[in-house]
Amino acid sequence: MQHKILILNGPNLNLLGERETEVYGKETLAGIEKALTKAFSKIRFEFRQSNVEGELVNMIHAARKKQDGIVFNPGAYTHYSIALRDAVAAVSIPVVEVHLSNIHAREDFRKNSMIAPVCIGQISGFGIYSYHLGIASLVRHLEKK
């Protein structure tokens, strides 16, 4: 069965490759998307990114009817967006939260995720491989159902 998965990225992730490369690495978002398409050739991906909270809410709502699940890096919204948490809770498709950096090993304000409690799980700290792990975990969850 071909799974349809939305890879959703939040604020500042459009600047990957030039932004704080010592934390987030040198890979661009387009490079990550290309690598994922190659690694998971059987999955039908939609790739979206926004710096705007409400747009991310709209994208989560839109995904509920056309996607099987979402791999979501909410960026800084992870730590304080009740609107995004409620959007994830509102849709019945499964969501995996991913982070390039290990948010638990950084500043205290990054240790808490508003979103993770309404996701099936969180993957953090493996660089771009966090996305690979997120997708693999989501597929496993979808195939168990």
Which residues of the chain form contacts with ligand DQA (CB under 6 A)? 12, 73, 75-76, 78, 99-101, 103, 110
Complex with ligand DQA: residue 133 or 142, whichever CB lies closer = 133
Q: How far is CA 3 from the centre of its chain?
A: 16
Nearer to ligand DQA, 4 or 110 (CB): 110
Least distance in angstroms from the C-beta of 89 to ligand DQA: 19
DSSP 85-119: HHHHHHS-S-EEEEESS-GGGS-GGGT--SSGGGS
What is the distance of C-alpha 2 from the center of its chain?
20
CA 118 to chain centre: 13
CB of 10 to ligand DQA, least distance (A): 7
Least distance between ligand DQA and beta carbon 75 (Å):
3
Q: Which is nearer to ligand DQA, 4 or 80 (CB)?
A: 80
Catalytically active residues, by annotation: 24, 99
Hey, what are 53's tokens? 């909270």
CB of 122 to ligand DQA, least distance (A): 11
Nearer to ligand DQA, 5 or 29 (CB): 29
C-alpha 78: how far from its chain's center? 10
Residues 20, 102: Cα–Cα separation, whole Å: 14
